[in-house]
């Protein structure tokens, strides 16, 4: 899950042609609803039986660092399948919010095929990097946050002046609008601080966030160069912001 330490981002730019972003969101939601973590499938049981089913499900489709490096040929696809598995409703909705906010404009800039490959490859490498740093861990790692962090990194490079609305708890959740070059580096700094304080073994994958963010920013930098940055047009005021 992408941890934003209480900062919720609300989209101010809406993509007009981003089918892969919405496909990824729909696919993650569908897989979650059909899995044991949603609680919607009676066949997984309840109570202890449900917990056993969840652990087995996460171990089968998630990244288990010790298994990945012990049997790399057999486990090589788990960093891909793990991108579509989430551990709870909060985990899912937090990740999908960030993908919705930042994915469409990034996809429009990269194109559908390139965006999809970028998302999967960066997500794979982010989870692989985290697993390498916790190579002896037997815990399962799941979630799209590494890939979505890469989207954030690319968005920062491509649209540094795009404005997003943030709800900050230490400012009593007042909605404040900041450019991406303020919000996203601040988010990355929080991930870096949290990664330095995190206990050993997978929990919230702060290191995967940092790896993904760095990969995404670096890819956009190499792919587009300084001369092709996009300066977004002023966004229309979303419905509900002109309330009497």
pLDDT tens digits, one per residue of 116-142: 999 999 999 999 999 998 899 898 999
Rounded to 5 degrees, φ, ψ at 64 are -110, 105
Give dist(CA 147, CA 125) in Å, integer.
Answer: 9
- The b-or-e profile of 51-79 (16+ CB within 10 A means b, else e) is eebbeebbbebbbbbebbeeeeeebeebb
Q: What is the pLDDT of residue 232?
A: 52
Q: Is 86 a catalytic residue?
A: no
Q: DSSP 3-state assignment of 77?
A: coil
| Token duo for residue 184 | 């996203």
pLDDT in tens, 189-227: 777 776 666 544 445 678 899 999 999 999 999 999 865
Q: What is the pLDDT of residue 194?
A: 67
Single out the residue of 84, 105, 106 nearest to residue 25, CA to CA: 84
Q: What is the pLDDT of residue 241?
A: 37
For residues 147-169, average pLDDT: 83
Q: What is the pLDDT of residue 225?
A: 85
Q: Is pLDDT larger for residue 182 or for residue 24?
A: 24
What does pTM read for this prediction?
0.81
CB 62 within 8 A of CB 85: yes
Query: Which architecture does CATH list for 16-228?
Result: Up-down Bundle (1.20)
Q: What is the pLDDT of residue 75?
A: 93
Rounded to 5 degrees, φ, ψ at 71 are -140, 70
31-38, Cβ contacts within 8 angstroms, sequence gap of 24 or more: 31/84, 31/85, 32/85, 32/86, 32/89, 32/92, 35/85, 37/86, 37/87, 37/88, 37/89, 38/89
- Selected catalytic residue, list 140, 145, 149, 166: 145
Q: What is the pLDDT of residue 226?
A: 63
pLDDT in tens, 93-105: 989 999 998 999 9
Q: Which residues, 6 or more positions from 41, have their beta carbon under 8 angstroms from its beta carbon?
A: 34, 35
For residues 158-173, average pLDDT: 64
Q: Is 209 a catalytic residue?
A: yes
Residue ranges per domain, the chain? 16-228
- Give the single-character DSSP code of 6: T
pLDDT in tens, 25-79: 999 999 999 999 998 999 998 899 999 999 999 999 999 999 999 998 889 999 9
């Amino acid at each position: 899950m992408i941890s934003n330490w209480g900062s919720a981002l609300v989209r101010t730019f809406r993509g007009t042609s981003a089918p892969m972003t919405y496909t990824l969101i729909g696919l993650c939601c569908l897989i979650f609803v059909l899995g044991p973590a949603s609680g919607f499938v009676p066949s997984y049981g309840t109570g202890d039986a449900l917990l056993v089913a969840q652990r087995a499900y996460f171990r089968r489709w998630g990244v288990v660092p010790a298994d990945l490096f012990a049997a790399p040929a057999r486990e090589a696809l788990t960093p891909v399948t793990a991108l579509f598995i989430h551990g709870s409703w909060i985990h899912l909705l937090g990740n999908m919010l960030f993908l919705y906010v930042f994915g469409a404009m990034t996809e429009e800039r990269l194109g559908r095929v390139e965006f999809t490959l970028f998302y999967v490859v960066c997500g794979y490498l982010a989870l692989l990097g985290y697993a390498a740093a916790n190579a002896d861990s037997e815990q399962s790692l799941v979630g799209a946050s590494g890939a979505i962090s890469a989207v954030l990194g690319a968005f920062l490079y491509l649209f540094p002046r795009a404005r997003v609305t943030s709800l900050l708890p230490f400012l009593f959740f007042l909605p404040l609008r900041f450019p991406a070059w303020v919000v996203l580096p601040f988010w990355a700094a929080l991930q870096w601080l949290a990664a330095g304080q995190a206990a050993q073994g997978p929990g919230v994958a702060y290191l995967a966030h940092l790896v993904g963010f760095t990969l995404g920013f670096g890819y956009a930098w190499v792919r587009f160069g300084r001369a092709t940055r996009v300066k977004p047009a002023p966004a229309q005021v979303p419905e509900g912001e002109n309330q009497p």
